[in-house]
Homo-oligomer: A and B are copies of this chain.
Amino acid sequence: MPLGQRAGDKSDSRYCGVEVLDFPAGDGLPAVLTHSLSSAFDFLLAPLVDPEYRPTPGAVLPVAASDLVLSPSQWSSHIVGKISEWIDLDSEDEQLRLDSELTLKQEIAWATHLSLQACVIPPPKRSTCANYARVVNNILQGLTNMQLWLRIPLEKSESMDEDRGKVNNNNPTSETVDSWEWWNSFRLLCEHSSQLYVALDILSSLPSMNSLGRWFGEPVRAAILQTDAFLTNARGYPCLSKRHQTLLTGFFNHSVQVIISGRSNHNVSQVSEGVLSGDENHTEDTPTRHALSPYLEYMAYLYQRMDPLPEQERFEINYRDFLQSPLQPLMDNLEAQTYETFEKDTVKYTQYQRAIAKALVDKVSEDEVSTTRTVLMVVGAGRGPLVRASLQAAEETGRKLKVYAVEKNPNAVITLHSLIKLEGWESMVTIISSDMRCWDAPEKADILVSELLGSFGDNELSPECLDGAQRFLKPDGISIPSSYTSFVQPVTASKLHNDIKAHKDIAHFETAYVVKLHRVARLAPPQEVFSFTHPNFSPKVSNQRYTKLQFELPQDTGSCLVHGFAGYFDAVLYKDVHLGIEPNTCTPNMFSWFPIFFPLRKPIYVPSESPIEVHFWRCCGATKVSVVSIAVDPLINESCNGPESHVISC
């Protein structure tokens, strides 16, 4: 039974499982399952094979239950397999190593036979796990549907400030433990397999928030919450520390399912429960209450206490981490539906109207109002939203306006004509059915209004378009927007990396994507990349750019893997009126732009406390602009991976 209803949330984090600690011998499994399901757990993490078993020639595998004991849909919906924990593939003991490999393969084969959705494989027993990872990688090649969840304890010992000198001196006694490193080595040896996930064991103490943050970019499928991690409230019930609560809420928001594990430390009596619910009659019939029910109830409480998803978030939920190619309105004509969607972004057009109003007031003083008519050109008028904003700004400020609406898409021009007729704007608006690059304007404009910005600002070639269009702007004319700046920050984003990798070609790694970033870890604050100002009448205008950025990760983050860079923009429309999606300054409730994502062909490992240096180029050819080339270098002496450099087309 799901933890609760949360409007718009259909993710797996609604489900809560329970770990079966003892081997359910004989036909024990169906009984345990029935008991757990009737106690409102959704699934079991259960051992599949007797942990006493060691491979013997001719023996039949001593499974917990024959496949006939549960139905195929019970197996696949309610059982996550737990691979025997004794296996140790990197042991010095060869027999143990060989037994481990054979048993692991047999158990996975049995789980595949049962069509389980996932199996949890035990944590590496030691820091070197090469043989374990090799065998798992080999198994992963043969799996079609089943996932493997590598169990990892969530722990990281913090290096004290005074210890840092010693660490750099390679003092082995001050070695820090960071279980993320185990995961990272394992996943690298498994070649970023898209069927390998993490199940994190949540213990009573937690690492720093910055270090926890890394996991939100990793493929965490389950948080195995140990009963030992719970505190006890005044009434004797289990509860979690504030930090644990924050972490769990984060997991709920990132589709991570909870599994309760351990022995009960909170023997909350059933009778008092019955009294509380005023339901005494049923105590006799009620089957024994599940020992871990109080923990499940606390989880349900935490889940239900979360704020409902805001409406815009709910609308965008299906776009989370979904890679889209940026629109290319310069090359392709947009469809009516696309215009319709973007025209609904009232926040954006309100900002434009404010900016145009301010420009009109600056251009025409109060005493010129009756004699002066401002010429305004909308370049890329689409179906007319900026024409409307301009006329509204004129009305609001009492300024007279003459509008030229320039649009290259003949289908949008048809709509523009209908709109002008419908609104009775014929005397104020002239429609120009033409590409702004070819148009020969009959007069020069006071104000040039455009909305050519992409998620990274210049990536839909706004600079090139506006440099061309300023030939019909008066020398003292105003461009709205008057400037814009792009921003980037490094991210961990294993899902995006795997989705791009699934195309099995280089081309998809040399593309920038528009994407509602969700399962990502933002590793450092965004920094400015390129800026453009309009109009620019300088004789030496160039839209080529180069920038070198250096990102410092917070000290307590630990090491991490960078899969790419998230990109944003901020635009000054006019004076103090701005518009943008840079996280720290973004315009609220605007939905026209998702961030952009620049992937790295090869993710870069960044050791703890090393800065990242990244180079960005914007290159212009005669017929083509490659908006971003990237080179990244983790600045470490003993470089374990060389710098990465490649071109990304937007």
Contacts and interface: CB of A to CB of B under 8 A. Distances in A.
Interface of A: 58, 60-61, 63, 66-68, 72, 75-76, 106, 109-110, 112-115, 333, 335-337, 340, 383, 409-415, 417-419, 422, 433
How would you classify the secondary structure of chain A's contact residues: helix, strand, loop or mixed? helix
A63 B414 CA distance: 8
Given A75-B336, A106-B410, A410-B106, A68 B113 contact: no
15 contacts: A60-B413, A60-B433, A61-B410, A61-B414, A67-B415, A68-B383, A72-B337, A72-B340, A75-B336, A106-B410, A110-B411, A112-B335, A113-B333, A113-B409, A114-B336
A315 to B, nearest CB: 16
A340 B113 CA distance: 11
Contacts of A106: 410
Nearest to A65: B418
A642 B216 CA distance: 60
A329 to B, nearest CB: 13
A419 B412 CA distance: 70
Given A72-B340, A110-B411, A335 B66 contact: no
A68 B415 contact: yes
Given A61-B414, A109-B410, A67 B115 contact: no
A113 B61 contact: no
Of A67, A72, A114, A422, most buried by chain B (CB within 10 Å of CB) is A67
Contact of A113 (B75, B336, B433): B336
Given A106-B410, A109-B411, A410-B106, A67 B336 contact: yes
A419 B68 contact: yes
Nearest to A338: B115
Contacts of A109: 333, 410-411
Q: Which 6 residue pairs across A and B have the least CB separation, nearest first?
A: A113-B411, A66-B418, A67-B336, A72-B337, A115-B337, A113-B336
A400 B417 CA distance: 91
Contact of A115 (B115, B335, B417, B422): B335
Contacts of A414: 60-61, 63, 66-67, 110
Contacts of A76: 337
A66 B336 CA distance: 10
Contacts of A383: 67-68
A417 B60 contact: yes
Contacts of A336: 67, 72, 75, 113-115
A525 to B, nearest CB: 39
Nearest to A113: B411
A507 B215 CA distance: 41
A422 to B, nearest CB: 8
Given A67-B383, A67-B415, A72-B340, 12 more contacts: A66-B414, A66-B418, A66-B419, A67-B411, A68-B383, A68-B422, A75-B336, A110-B411, A110-B414, A112-B333, A113-B333, A114-B335
A109 B410 CA distance: 9
Contacts of A72: 336-337, 340
Nearest to A60: B417
Nearest to A419: B68
Contacts of A67: 336, 383, 411, 414-415
Contacts of A411: 67, 109-110, 112-113
Contacts of A60: 413-414, 417, 433
Contacts of A110: 411, 414
Contacts of A335: 112-115
Of A61, A72, A411, A412, most buried by chain B (CB within 10 Å of CB) is A411
Of A58, A335, A412, A433, most buried by chain B (CB within 10 Å of CB) is A335
A115 to B, nearest CB: 5
Nearest to A413: B60
A112 B333 CA distance: 10
Contacts of A409: 113
A66 B415 contact: yes
A519 B109 CA distance: 38
A57 to B, nearest CB: 11
Contacts of A61: 410, 414
A113 B335 CA distance: 4
A410 B106 CA distance: 9
Contacts of A417: 60
